[in-house]
Structure 1
Amino acid sequence: MTDSGDRQVKTCLITGAAGDIGGRLRRLMKGLYPALVLTDRVAPKDLEPSEDFRAADLADLGAVEGALRGVDAVVHLGAVSVEGDWESILSANIVGTYNVFEAARRQGVARVVFASSFHTIGFYPRNRRIGTDALVRPDTRYGMSKACGEAMAALYAFKYGVRVLCIRIGNIADKPADLRRLSGWCHPEDLVQLIRIGLEHPDLRHEVVWGISANERAWWDNKAAFRLGYQPIGNAETMRDYALAGQAALPPDPIGDRLQGGPYASAEFVGDIRRIRLAPSR
């Protein structure tokens, strides 16, 4: 394909439009671009008559290619968004993500924003600050699938010229629900700002950034996002009491409470935690 990433985005497609984050983006991105196209296996329950919905199963390349026809950019949210069995993760998150990138290549789509996850690095200790250049340490099959998606993003960016922004999303919610989310929370409008960077920044080729707000307890160095002009408005610390009250209601997790992935990392964990080379707890 030719490099057409500098053209203005007129038609943007959102995969996974029926999910929680997809629903938020439908509202927050309305009117930002001349046309917003939605796709998922089933239509959102609150779909408006004016919204352009194209049903597609991400595991079906032909259906995905049809959904992407005529669009300039894709925000790829569609996935199994929690830990699951291998067959489900493989179909939706790995085959599905491949199909999105391949369909984008075939249809000449200029840009893809890939919704990755901090679960790509969930086995790092909480007292270690890392950047996006740290080696992946996925905490689940789900996290592994997102690391695989980031590898696909790099392939399609450097080999085929698709401009790609991978956003390692922390937690999208109105408030941080517990102690862990004081570090990884992302204000919904901050996510939209990052997506717009992916869709509009003239110098973007391929980047990986953290999908978090300006949290005082952040575990992650987001200098790549700041270099692209990111100016987050949220700070989880302003809702500290709410988060700590939520944390107090949770049972202790001797493994998860020391790891960035939390319960995702501790689930199914076997053996000696010392193999993770944890630094002393603060």
Structure 2
Amino acid sequence: MEAKLGRVVITGVAGRVGPTVRAALHRDAEHVVLVDRESVTADGANETALKADIADLGALARSFEGAEAVVHLAGLSGEAPFADLLDTNVQGTFNVLEAARRAGVRRVVLASSNRVTGNYPIHHHVFPDEPPRPDGLYGVSKVASEALGQMYADTFGLEVVALRLGSFEEEPTETRHLATWLSPRDCAGFVRAALTAPNVSFVAAYAVSANARRFWDLAGGESELGYRPVDDAARFAAGFPDDDPFWHGGPQGGAYAGPDAVLPYVRDE
């Protein structure tokens, strides 16, 4: 793919997904700004590393100056006390969107999650425009983040793409991943498409590989972003039992859903 992007910022670049996105944009963007609260080292003349926390709106706005787009990966990536999720995932997303508005950024790609619909049953094929059914407090925080993205698109004209990431792994490590796996190659493909797709206002799309057993509809990502995933977890299926209880029914979130997953984070200390 020829570079079609100017200056692009990645927040949370030191996290699990960050290195894959960084490698992809290193080829596709004229300049990549690496933002994380941990120290990150720039690699080459087309990278700049900045230490900043998404809690600091002013620092974000300065980091975003001159940027064409932002890929927002920073945040808590699993179940946590609700106050922490509000501070990091919701307030943090607000800060990123507001900093982008102030800096004149054209497009923001939000790392949302498949868990915004994790309480749908496994036999239900979910389309992106169906109502949210989060499987826990983390999922709720991502629903709120998507709502902020929609509001900034509608109110301020910011172009926003919320990618509902699947299970990002080098290869599946549990039975559920036969449905939810997102390969590094497809992750990079979805992010590139989210940054370059034309005629975007607000788009929410599932970013998951082309798994034969997937729960989620990919038509939105293909029609609105122009990306069709290429990998399929089916080639790893022999490593998992066909009669795994996961396939007997229950929520798509699997072990991430249900009282046992949520209650440890809502009980009084």
Q: Same fold (TM over 0.5)?
A: yes
- Matching residue's letter, 1:234: D
Matched position secondary structure for 2:17: helix
Is 1:99 the equivalent of 2:110? no
In the aligned structure 1, how far is the partner of 2:111 from the partner of 2:252? 18
Structure 2 residue 235 is the aligned partner of structure 1 residue 238: yes
Name the structure 1 match of 2:257: 265
Cα distance in 1 between the residues matched to 2:160 and 2:133: 22
**Letter paired with 1:265:** A
How many Å apart are 1:47 and its aligned residue?
Answer: 5.2
Contact 1:111 1:198 in 2 (8 A): no
In terms of mean alpha carbon deviation, does 134-143 or 49-58 score higher? Answer: 49-58
Structure 2: state its 5+ residue gaps: 263-269
Q: Pick one of 184, 202, 207 that aligns with 2:203.
A: 207
For 1:55 and 1:112, the matched residues in 2 are separated by 20
Q: CA deviation at 1:247?
A: 9.5
Q: Deviations over 1:107-156 (max 9, x none)?
A: 11000111100111111110111101111011111111100010011011
The answer to whether 1:64 aligns with 2:60 is: yes
Residue 118 (structure 2) aligns with: 122
Q: Corresponding residue for 2:266?
A: none
Task: Give aligned-pair identity as a percent.
Answer: 35
Give the length in aligned residue pairs.
258
Query: What is the CA distance between 1:268 and its match in structure 2?
Result: 3.0
Residues 178 and 159 of structure 1, relative CA distance in 2, 3 Å threshold: same
| Equivalent of 2:78 in 76, 82, 91 | 82
C-alpha deviation, 1:27, in angstroms: 2.1
Aligned partner of 1:9 in structure 2 is 5
Where in structure 2 are the equivalents of 1:162-181 lying within 5 Å? 162-181=158-177
Matched, 1:136 2:128: no
Query: RMSD of aligned C-alpha atoms?
Result: 2.3
Contact 1:118 1:169 in 2 (8 A): yes
Amino acid in structure 1 at the alignment position of 2:103? Q
- TM-score of the two chains, using structure 2 as the length reference: 0.89
Q: TM-score, normalised by structure 1?
A: 0.85
Over 3 Å counting, the alpha-carbon distance change for 1:115 and 1:247 in structure 2 is farther
Shift, 1:32, TM fit: 0.9
In the alignment, structure 1 segments of 5+ residues that lack a partner are 1-7, 271-282
